[in-house]
Amino acid sequence: MPTKERARDRGQRNAMREWIKLGARLREERLAAGVSQGHIADVAGLTQSRISRTERGQRLPPRLDELGRHCSALGLRLSLQAYPDGRAVRDAPQLGLLDRFHLQLHISLGWSTEVLVGKYGDQRAWDAVVSGSERVAVDAETHLYDIQAVQRRIELKMRDSGMDRAVLLVASTRHNRAVLREHRRALASTFPLDTAEIMSSLRAGRIPEASGIVVL
């Protein structure tokens, strides 16, 4: 529950911050155009009080279509985007996959979970980091939806954390194995090692020499 509550609270704060910023922007655009709130309300098909509340950042927008009409009345196009802001809450199968992997490591190797990528304000995290004479990051996937997106995500995290090797830990399901077979050649540049090569090193207390994919 604490993880879910933190995610919910962070999401609420982010939404309110962006809503207030947008309201201030809409007010600036209206004043620059030299028109009243009533005029914008008439053009957008909204009430003057709705325009006023939006400009002051009071309450989150009830409907996106109303916000879109408000923007359009000012000659603006509403655009929404979501950015990485912390690891999604993990489910029991993912935690179980990480536990199975952890149990196969040599006792001399260190194990840390939820390790931040490292840049100030960057909430992205590795699911785990295995440490010995060197370190290797671990990200776990129980169901592969977009393997290319997963590959890009790990490549960016390696770049931004200074980590030179990572393990993509994948649950051994028929679907996942089929996805990996289909894309193995494209994945080879980022993940050259396979399950046997990586686990052989980790069971012997050695950090793998390169990144790879482990299917468990």
In a domain, 145, yes or no: yes
The tokens describing 74, both together, are 């000012």
Within-domain flag for 58: yes
Supply the pLDDT for residue 6.
65
Residue 1 — pLDDT band, cuts 50, 70, 90? very low
pLDDT at 83 over 50: yes
> 192 and 138 in one domain?
yes
Q: Which of 78-87, 126-135, 180-189 is predicted least confidently? A: 78-87
- Give the global pTM: 0.64
**In the prediction, which pLDDT does 121 show?**
66
Residue 82 domain flag = no
- For residues 99-127, give the mean pLDDT: 88
* Statement: residue 76 has pLDDT above 80: yes
Cα 190–chain centre separation: 19
How many angstroms separate the CA atoms of 16 and 11, rounded? 9
**What is the per-residue pLDDT for 12?**
81
Q: Report pLDDT digits (tens) over 125-144.
A: 899 999 999 999 999 999 99
Per-residue pLDDT at 86 exceeds 60? no
Return d(Cα 152, Cα 168) in angstroms, integer: 12
Q: Are residues 154 and 108 in the same domain?
A: yes
The domain total for the chain is 2
Range of the domain at 99: 92-215
Q: Residue 211 falls within a domain, yes or no? A: yes
The answer to whether the CB of 180 falls within 8 A of the CB of 144 is yes
Give φ, ψ of 138 to 5 degrees. -135, 130
Average confidence score pLDDT of the chain: 88
Contacts (Cβ under 8 Å, ≥6 apart) of 92: none
Nearest-angstrom CA–CA distance, 130 and 132: 7
Give the domain CATH number at 130.
3.40.1350
The DSSP output letter for 73 is: H
The model's pLDDT over 150-176, given as tens digits with 9 standing for 90+, comes to: 999 999 999 999 999 999 999 999 999
